[in-house]
């Protein structure tokens, strides 16, 4: 049996070696999941699913420190932020359980025409079928929760493939479901670094729903390969814009902007990346931002005071460095930056990089923020919208008029007013537009996607 070596993100030392699945193993797991769904008499009752989700939440809380350290180890997220991820994951499990109190169909009016007289119609909710979930590395526990908790809540068998770089949190979470009494056929893992095997999972005709979190290139490709009738949800990335109006208070906005830009070293799909500042406030803003960024504590994510940790792999650190160098060669100014280790970059601020530069057009996914000066607020909105990606955005202003104008005109699924672009709660809708995604995430919305309504009509 082949094995997968999991490395510590910060120093690249081996953390654990785990067995990988092969094609025959995947075939066995798909057969088990399909059989579980076909056996309607064996479906878990709603109260049983509620009890399992709540039990896992309790087990996760009891082992919160262990999970937080593991997230920091395998994914490189600083320990304080990893601890928050664990708390959110436990709350997400409870969210899924609580949502079942209101997860129901509705009555359809009859008797509105002579032909519908004497009938009573209503809908019920049913699980859609086998769910294939492919996840990303940057939130190795909470992303898994967002994919498998809704499936278990509505009664779908799920097979989850974690990122090859960060499988440990997923494996340990699924073990908690076993401990809570969930049979293996309802929640299985696929551990592999073989993209073709992952594609076989995603495109198997027995799979009725694909949940994919990762690169746009892979996600849209997989969607094109899905069998007829298979639904999907895709969550990709963006190049999140921030508009700073002339009325904004520079002193109070730096902290949320810094958090939004450098949280998890910028490895978040809605990380603040492009900041548009009124030209009259540009120098003041850059001065205050650069001072705050210079004070960020960068290094080992297992240390309790670290604010910015490593990137997931040396090749990612090298790629981000190359994009920065390209922007500088094209005329951008630079503040900060540089390598701390082969995976760890010091935070950078790029000043007025060209619109055509990669850092202006593509998702950087690193500790880099671009700052652009503008003369006209309307043109800043136009520039913010001028990329292929559209996810979350934000505007900072003390005047309500410009704030609402930006909220209406920014091409985004969510616009934060006086908060950073990476704000999220796990019960709110979360969706990419344009090339940034397909479908709507968030636990209640995912539960809806993983179910189907059936209408029943009774005639007297």
Catalytic residue list = 235, 269
d(CA 199, CA 191): 13
Rounded Cα distance, 253 and 245, in Å: 11
Sheet (strand 368-374) strand order: 333-336, 348-351, 368-374, 272-278, 240-244, 392-396, 414-417
Cα–Cα distance list, 259 to 44, 269, 307, 369, 419 (Å): 42, 14, 9, 11, 10
Which of the 8 DSSP states describes residue 369?
E
Q: Is 262 exposed, middle or buried, given 0-12, 13-18 or 19+ CB atoms closer than 10 A?
A: buried
Asked if residue 56 lies in contact with residue 93, where contact means CB atoms within 8 angstroms, the answer is: yes
d(CA 190, CA 67): 20
d(Cα 320, Cα 300) in Å, to the nearest integer?
Answer: 19
For tokens 């008499």, name the residue: 41
What is the DSSP code string of 385-454? T-SSEESEEEEE-SSHHHHHHHHHHS-SSEEEESS-TT---TTS-B--EETTEES-BSHHHHHHHTEEEE
Residue pair 81/100 in contact by the 8 Å Cβ criterion: no
Burial class for 104, CB neighbours closer than 10 Å (0-12, 13-18, 19+): exposed
DSSP string across 79-115? HHHHHHHHHHHHHHHHHHHHHTTS----EE---SSGG
């Amino acid at each position: 049996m082949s094995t997968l070596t999991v490395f510590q993100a910060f120093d690249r030392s081996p953390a654990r070696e785990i067995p990988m699945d092969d094609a025959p193993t995947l075939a066995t797991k798909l057969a088990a999941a399909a059989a579980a769904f076909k056996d309607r008499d064996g479906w878990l009752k709603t109260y049983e699913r509620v009890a399992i989700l709540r039990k896992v939440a309790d087990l996760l809380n009891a082992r919160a420190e262990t999970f937080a350290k593991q997230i920091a180890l395998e994914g490189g997220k600083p320990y304080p932020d990893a601890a928050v991820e664990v708390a959110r994951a436990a709350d997400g499990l409870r969210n899924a359980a609580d949502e079942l109190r209101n997860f129901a169909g509705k009555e359809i009016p009859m008797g509105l025409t002579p032909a519908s007289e004497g009938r009573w119609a209503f809908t019920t909710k049913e699980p859609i079928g086998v769910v294939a979930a492919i996840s990303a590395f940057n939130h190795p526990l909470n992303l898994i929760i967002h994919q498998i908790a809704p499936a278990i809540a509505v009664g779908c068998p799920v097979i989850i493939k974690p990122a090859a770089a960060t499988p440990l949190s997923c494996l340990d979470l699924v073990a908690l479901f076993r401990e809570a009494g969930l049979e293996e056929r309802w929640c299985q893992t696929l551990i592999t670094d073989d993209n073709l095997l992952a594609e076989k999972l995603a495109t198997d005709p027995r799979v009725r729903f694909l949940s994919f979190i990762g690169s746009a290139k892979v996600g849209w490709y997989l969607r094109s390969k899905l069998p007829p009738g298979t639904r999907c949800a895709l969550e990709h990335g963006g190049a999140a814009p921030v508009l700073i109006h002339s009325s904004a208070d520079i002193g109070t906005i730096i902290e949320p902007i810094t958090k939004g830009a450098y949280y998890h070293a910028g490895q978040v799909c809605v990380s603040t990346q492009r900041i548009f500042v009124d030209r009259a406030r540009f120098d003041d803003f850059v001065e205050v931002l650069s001072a705050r960024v210079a004070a960020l504590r960068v290094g080992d994510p297992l240390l309790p005071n670290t604010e910015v940790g490593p990137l997931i792999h040396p090749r990612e650190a090298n790629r981000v460095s190359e994009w920065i160098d390209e922007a500088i060669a094209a005329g951008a100014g630079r503040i900060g930056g540089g390598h701390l280790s082969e995976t760890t970059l010091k935070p950078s601020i790029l000043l007025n990089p060209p619109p055509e530069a990669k850092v202006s057009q593509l998702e950087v996914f690193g500790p880099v923020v671009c700052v652009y000066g503008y003369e006209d607020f309307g043109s800043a909105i136009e520039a913010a919208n001028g990329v292929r990606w559209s996810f979350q955005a934000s505007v900072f202003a003390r005047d309500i008029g410009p704030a609402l104008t930006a909220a209406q005109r920014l091409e985004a699924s969510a616009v934060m007013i006086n908060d950073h672009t990476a704000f999220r709660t796990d019960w709110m809708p979360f969706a990419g537009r344009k090339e940034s995604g397909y479908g709507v995430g968030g636990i209640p919305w995912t539960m809806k996607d993983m179910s189907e309504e059936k209408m029943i009509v009774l005639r007297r």
